[in-house]
Amino acid sequence: MTENEKYLFDLTGYLLLKNVLSPEEVGLANEAIDQHAEGIVERVGDLSLSGGSAALQGTTGRGDLGGMLGWERPWRDPFREMLAHPKIVPYLHQIIGKGFRLDHNMSLITMRKGAEGHTLHGSSGPEFDPHQYYVFRDGSMHSGLTVVSWQLADVGLEHGGFCVIPGSHKGNFRCPSAMKQYEINQEFVKQVTCEAGDVVIFTEAVTHGTLPWNADHERRSLLVRYSPGNLAYASGYDWPDAMREGLTEAQRAVLEPPYHLRLNRPVVETSE
Ligand SMILES: O=C(O)CCC(=O)C(=O)O
């Protein structure tokens, strides 16, 4: 992680990394998703995410798809390669610390034209959230739950999708409800534009959400959440056999349950 990147992540709470995946790798991941597209669940009715906001409402819900780490070969391979990806691990070591672990299952967000947004949320202020936090101490960044969002489709200006209030991970006051609803002060909310193959890393402490999707093509962002090795946000880390079978050493290390680094916790090796 360069000094420039450290500065930007600390300043804003997120970082955009360009061209992490090649067009061929993006193509393989999208083909695998196409093969399993019948499993996509659109969040309508009680599962709606727009929270009654007029500014975030849509004509349909966000699509969710999970389980890709346990798919049959070759479909699972592109997603397993993302788990402990050599281009991403150095960032996670800096932001979360060595011994970071997968928290939550990997999940794909899809959005068709007209899909509603997701109210802004995040854990900064006023109370300290011991699972989702961002602190800077003794010269290092420390983020609790942290998201690596792999972009499998382009996101242009005005398309919608992921948005963030840069710097809000250091906020001390509660974000006003109308701002979480994207109904006031929209000029402080940044829609993050990116291309297929890019990666957005963000701390769950930063206030973030989703703007309604306006593009003709489908949004596809794969969210992978990690926590420090000692910490769990989600309750389920007894991963199913289909997900564990055939993993590499590095991938297995990321699936370890939470416990102290001192107790022989495996650490993903890098050339850092
Ligand atoms: O649309 C996005 O990428 C953000 C989604 C999100 O924050 C969530 O699902 O909690």
| pLDDT tens, residue order, the chain (272 aa) | 999 999 999 999 999 999 999 999 999 999 999 999 999 999 999 999 999 999 999 999 999 999 999 999 999 999 999 999 999 999 999 999 999 999 989 999 999 999 999 999 998 778 899 999 999 999 999 999 999 999 999 999 999 999 999 999 999 999 999 999 999 999 999 999 999 999 999 999 999 999 999 999 999 999 999 999 999 999 988 899 999 999 999 999 999 999 999 999 999 988 76
In this prediction, residue 123 carries a pLDDT of 81
> Which structural domains are found in the chain, ordered by start?
3-254 (2.60.120.620)
Q: Identify the three-state secondary structure at position 97.
A: coil
Two structure tokens written together for 78: 């592109």
Ligand 1 within 6 A of CB of 220: no
Backbone φ and ψ for 120, nearest 5 degrees, come out as -70, 145
| Ligand 1 site, residue 208, Cβ cutoff 6 A | yes
Ligand 1: residue whose CA is nearest its atom 6: 209
Return the bridge partners of 41, or none.
64
123 lines ligand 1 (CB under 6 A): no
Ligand 1 pocket residue status of 118, Cβ below 6 Å: yes
User: How many angstroms is it from 120 CA to the middle of ligand 1?
Assistant: 9
pTM given for the model: 0.97
Q: How far apart are CA 243 and CA 68, in angstroms?
A: 8
Distance 179 CA to ligand 1 centre (A): 16
